[in-house]
Amino acid sequence: QRTDYIKFCENIIDRFEMTKRQNIQFIRKFPRGRFYVLIDRDKLTQVIDNIISNAIKYSPEGGIITFQVFMKKNRIRTMISDQGVGIPKENLSKVFDRFYRVDRARSRKLGGTGLGLAIAKEMIEAQGGEIWAESEWNQGTAIHFILPLDQGKGGAGRNDARSI
Ligand code: ATP
Ligand code: MG
């Protein structure tokens, strides 16, 4: 489905802001203009829901979650970062494995199956993208993913004032 990506992200964050129980603040940093991606909206919603849920799960009271979108030529990069417990360097690549969870005791308490990021990786790669994690232990975590822009008619990649 051809999707206005920023609007799509805004809707997801709005939903989290309306239902959140913890004292967590969302910051949005979006580029101006309209950018279209060709995605399966249900699947990408599931991916972003899991990344934000993880960020909330591992954040302290009063933590800030930043949702930022960057444009780069014909690709769009999304970064969702938190100020939570972080992931030790040696475990970073494993969080995308099925059923992998960093700290069993901690994770059991917080619930989940360890499938969220494995599914995210499958879905992002199926849409021609990439996903990776960056983290500092006790500082926070950032999940990045890249999706190809839908070049659409005219092939300019972006679809703002010029396409009217
Ligand atoms: P599920 O998503 O299936 O409910 P889960 O959240 O434990 O379970 P994933 O989303 O795949 O599984 O995440 C895998 C593991 O990576 C988590 O158990 C956690 O240890 C670690 N992790 C993921 N996101 C973060 C984060 N933002 N901060 C700290 N650790 C994280
Ligand atoms: Mg999860």
At 73-121, the pLDDT tens digits run 899 999 999 999 999 999 998 999 998 888 766 666 676 788 999 999 9
Cα of 72 vs centre of ligand 2, distance in Å, is 28
Quote the pLDDT of residue 100.
85
* Distance from C-alpha of 118 to C-alpha of 108, rounded to nearest angstrom: 18
Q: Is the minimum distance from the CB of 113 to ligand 1 under 6 angstroms?
A: yes
> To the nearest whole number, what is the mean pLDDT of the chain?
89
* Distance from C-alpha of 55 to C-alpha of 24, rounded to nearest angstrom: 10
- For atom 18 of ligand 1, the residue with the nearest CA is 101
Which bound ligand lies closest to the C-alpha atom of 91?
A: 1
pLDDT tens digits for range 70-82: 999 899 999 999 9
Q: Is the minimum distance from the CB of 63 to ligand 1 under 6 angstroms?
A: no
Give ipTM to 2 decimals: 0.97
Quote the pLDDT of residue 105.
60
Tokens of 1: 């489905």
| Mean pLDDT, residues 46-66 taken together | 95
Question: Residues 32, 14, 142, 100: is their CA dihedral positive or negative?
Answer: negative
Instruction: Evaluate if residue 62 carries a pLDDT over 70.
Output: yes
Q: Is the minimum distance from the CB of 96 to ligand 1 under 6 angstroms?
A: no
Quote the pLDDT of residue 108.
64
Predicted TM-score of the model (pTM)? 0.91
Instruction: Evaluate if residue 54 carries a pLDDT over 50.
Output: yes
Determine contact, residues 135/141, Cβ cutoff 8 Å: yes
CA distances in angstroms from 163 to 8, 76, 106, listed in the order given: 20, 19, 50
Q: Is the minimum distance from the CB of 65 to ligand 1 under 6 angstroms?
A: no
Q: Is the minimum distance from the CB of 133 to ligand 1 under 6 angstroms?
A: no
